[in-house]
Amino acid sequence: MTDALVIGAGPAGLMAAEALAAAGRRVLVVDAKPSPARKFLMAGKSGLNITHTGSNFAAAYPEVWLAPVLADFGPDAVQDWCRGLGQEVFTGSSGRVFPVVMKGSPLLRAWLARLDAAGVELRTRWRWTGFSGEGFAFDTPDGPVVLHPAVTVLALGGASWARLGSDGAWVPMLVERGVKVAPFQPANMGFQVDWSPHMARFFGAPVKGVALCVDGTRERGEFVVSSKGLEGGGIYAMSRALRRGAALRLDLLPDLTVEAVAERLARARRGDTVGARLRKLGLSSVVVALVQEWGRPLPDDLAPLLKALPVPLTGPRPMDEAISVAGGVTHAALTEGLELRALPRVFACGEMLDWEAPTGGYLLTACLATGLWAGRAAAG
C-alpha cells in the first residue's frame, strides 16, 4: 500500500512531499505532465519572484484564515529555504525577492535532487482521473492504476495556463464527493480594449510613470498596450476590483496637481497641435495616443482629462491567460490542517484552494506555505 501520495508536482505539492518525507513517510508524487513544476519554470522565465518583503505582506491576502499558515512559512522562511537549496536571493527596490540567477530551473533541480535523496519517488504522466471506490484512479503510461494511500495531498493547481498542467479538471471529481469548490475566476489578468486601427503601431509599447485609479485606490504602475488590450503588473494589481466592474482612470501626470498641469498647458505656443502640447508635458508617444484614443472629443481644458483619463475596458482576458485564479476549494470545506472535511485523510494545498493574492511573490509564497502546512498535517 502507498504510504503518502501527493498528486500534483508544482511548488505546493513538492513542498508537501518534503514535509511528509521529513516526517519519515514514504512519499510518492505523481503528475499528469511529462515533467514536474512546469508553471513554476514558466514563472521563472520573466524572473522568478519567489516572495515579497515589507510591512504590508499580510495585507496582500484578504483571506484571514491564511494568516497562521503564512506566519509559519513567510518571506524570511522562503528566502532561507532558497538559500538552503544553494540559491542566493536578492530584494528588488519594490520589496520583490528573486533568486540571483532569476530563473526557477536551478532551484527546481536542487529541490528535486534533495527530494530524491530523501526517498521521495516522482512519477510523471500519471493523470488522476477520479475515484475508484475509496482508491485514487490514474491513467499512466502502463495503463490504469488505482492507489489506496494512507494519506493523500492534492496539489492540483488552479485553472489557468492549462498547457502547463493546471487545467481544473479535478473540480467535478471533488464536487461529486461533496467538496465545496467556489467557481474559478481569472486573477492577475489583462483586460480587453476595443482599439481603433490607429493604435496598432503602439502594440507592445510600455506605459510608465502613470498612476492607476480604481475605487478610490491610487497606485503607480506600469502596463503594456497589446493588440488585445492592456496587460502587465499595474493592471494585474487592480484586477480584483476591475473584475467586479470598477472603473479605471489613469493619472498621466501623477507628480503634478491639476492646476500645475493647466499652468504648463497654458505655456504652449499658439498653433501647437494637441499632440505637440501633450508631448511638451513630457508624455510619451503611446500616452499621447491613449489620450487621443480615449479622450475624444477632446475638451478645451485638457488638465482634468490628463489627471483622470477614463479607460474603457470591455472585460477580462480569458482565464487561461491569467497569472492566477480566484476560487477553488473553499475554506469551509477544509479543517485547520487543510484536510478535506468530506474526504478524511485527503488534504489540499496551493492554488487549488480559494484564496487570491497579487503578483509580487505572494502567489508562490502561499503555495509553498500551504504545501508545507498540509504536508505536516498529513504526516501527523
Write out the residues near ligand FAD by the rule CB under 6 A. 7-13, 30-33, 38-40, 42-43, 48-49, 127-128, 155-157, 161, 165-166, 169-170, 323-324, 350-351, 361, 363-364, 367
Minimum CB–partner distance for residue 173 and ligand FAD (Å): 8
Strands (DSSP E) along 199-323, which ranges?
A: 206-214, 217-225, 229-231, 248-251, 309-311, 315-316
Is 223 in contact with 234 (CB distance < 8 Å)?
yes
* CB-nearer residue toward ligand FAD: 104 or 293: 104
At 7, phi and psi to the nearest 5?
Answer: -105, 115
For residue 214, give the C-alpha cell: 480604481
Instruction: Supply the minimum distance, in Å, between the C-beta of residue 238 and ligand FAD.
Output: 17
Residue type, 163: R
Nearer to ligand FAD, 188 or 284 (CB): 188
* Closest distance to ligand FAD from the beta carbon of 32 (Å): 4
Between residues 69 and 199, which has the closer beta carbon with respect to ligand FAD? 69
DSSP 188: S
d(CA 208, CA 133): 56
Which helix (DSSP H) or strand (DSSP E) does residue 91 occupy? Answer: strand 89-91
Q: How far is the CB of 351 from ligand FAD (least distance, A)?
A: 4
How far does CA 191 lie from the centroid of its chain? Answer: 15
Nearest to 313 by CA among 326, 294, 300, 297: 294
Residue 75 or 229 with smaller CB distance to ligand FAD: 75
Q: Kindly state the smallest distance separating residue 232's Cβ from ligand FAD, in Å.
A: 12
Choose between 42 and 101: whose C-beta lies nearer to ligand FAD.
Answer: 42
What does the block give as the cell for 239?
A: 484586477
Question: Are residues 189 and 239 in contact, defined by beta-carbon separation less than 8 angstroms?
Answer: yes
CA distance 343 to 341: 6
CB of 362 vs ligand FAD, minimal distance in Å:
6
Closer to ligand FAD by Cβ: residue 48 or 302: 48
Smallest gap from Cβ 116 to ligand FAD, in A, equals 17
Helix (H) or strand (E) holding 325: strand 324-329
**Is 229 or 358 the residue whose CB approaches ligand FAD more closely?**
358
Residue 204 and residue 214: Cα distance in Å, rounded?
24
DSSP annotation of 124: E
Residue 37 cell numbers, joined: 513544476
Closer residue to ligand FAD in complex, CB, 8/149: 8
User: Residue with C-alpha cell 510600455?
Assistant: 206
Backbone dihedral region for residue 338 (phi beyond 0: left; psi -120 to 50: alpha; all else: beta): left
Q: How far is the CB of 30 from ligand FAD (least distance, A)?
A: 6
